[in-house]
Amino acid sequence: MLFQFFAFTCIVIVGAEIGLGLFVFLKKKFGRNKKPKLIKPNYQKDVVYLAQFPCVPFIRSISPFCLKLETWLRMHKIPYESVYTLKFGPKGQIPYVELNGEQIPDSAIIIEKLTKYFNVSDNDGVGKEQLALAHSMTVMVENRTAIAGFFWRYGRNMKMFVDALCLETYPAKSLKFWTFFQPMGTRFKTVCHGLGKHEDQEIAEFSFQDLKAISDALGEKHFFLGDTPKQVDCVLFGNLIQFIYNPLPFPQKEFISKECKNLEPYVDRLRDQFFPDWNDLCLPQSMNGFKEASYANAIALSK
């Protein structure tokens, strides 16, 4: 009976993944080129509207990519407004931004486009070797370290994660659905990625290697490439916070505290410089009325 249920759940998840992929393909191939509905139709010119997940305690966002992008916007003093939403963007992702009526998906593409539009630069005084190191570090963290973290919290400890961080600000119905399907979906995706073909401890060990590499490359520097924060610091901040500030017993958190002692003060420096209002931003009150009825209902149902 248990095996049948497991097989059925796998079929549902795989079918949903295939169906979503087919839908996106057919929409691109045959759909009309109409603009997506804006989350901020009454926008102000040259204000970036950052669509991100509802805030959570301790880590602000469950998405390292949302944190990466918000940190980058603050680093360059680009005017922005957070729009807290569970509506995914044109590529099925959160975060995405809206600028002057245009939706732009994917944090890397967003940063590239906003860099040109606002005429800002992350590369002043940075040599080619340093840029290559920053690029390699970004690819490693976003495509392996983060995947290992997602696997632990979603694939193995979903209920603990939701109970600790998401009950206050996520609608109850969405949470119930997400809590049920996400673990299997994450395990399936991690296997497709290749990382999930390994044992849990091996996956953790891979992330330990990544964290040690970050720590060794940072050394005693104030920021990753020297005295001035750059885009790679935004990437590292968004990802390391998911381990260091998270109250859950991540194996990566324990490894950082024992073997990478320079990473926590590094994250603290970035938080203090770009988020002096960090504690306030981790509270539901910071969301300016995001779906008040929905999360009020979620709180009531959780009691």
Strand partners, 99: 48, 102
Task: Count Cβ atoms within 10 A of the Cβ of residue 48 and give its class: 0-12 exposed, 13-18 middle, 19 or more buried.
Answer: buried
Q: Whole-angstrom Cα distance, residue 210 to residue 92? A: 28
Q: Residue 3 has what pLDDT? A: 44
- Find the distance separating the first CA and the last CA of the chain, reported in whole Å: 32
Which candidate, 53, 58, 89, places its Cα nearest to that of 171? 53
| Residue range 128-277, CATH number | 1.20.1050.10
Written as one string, the DSSP assignment of 21-55 is: HHHHHHHHHHS--PPPPPS-SSPPTT-EEEEEPPP
For CA atoms 206, 268, 250, 162, give the dihedral sign. Answer: negative
Domain map of the chain by residue range? 128-277
pLDDT in tens, the chain (303 residues): 544 444 445 555 555 455 555 555 555 555 555 677 899 999 999 999 999 999 999 999 999 999 999 999 999 999 999 999 999 999 999 999 999 999 999 999 999 999 999 999 888 888 999 999 999 999 999 999 999 999 999 999 999 999 999 888 888 888 989 999 999 999 999 999 999 999 999 999 999 999 999 999 999 999 999 999 999 999 999 999 999 999 999 999 999 999 999 999 999 999 999 999 999 999 999 897 564 333 333 333 233
How many residues make up the chain in this entry? Answer: 303
pLDDT at 125: 84
For position 294, what pLDDT does the model report?
A: 36
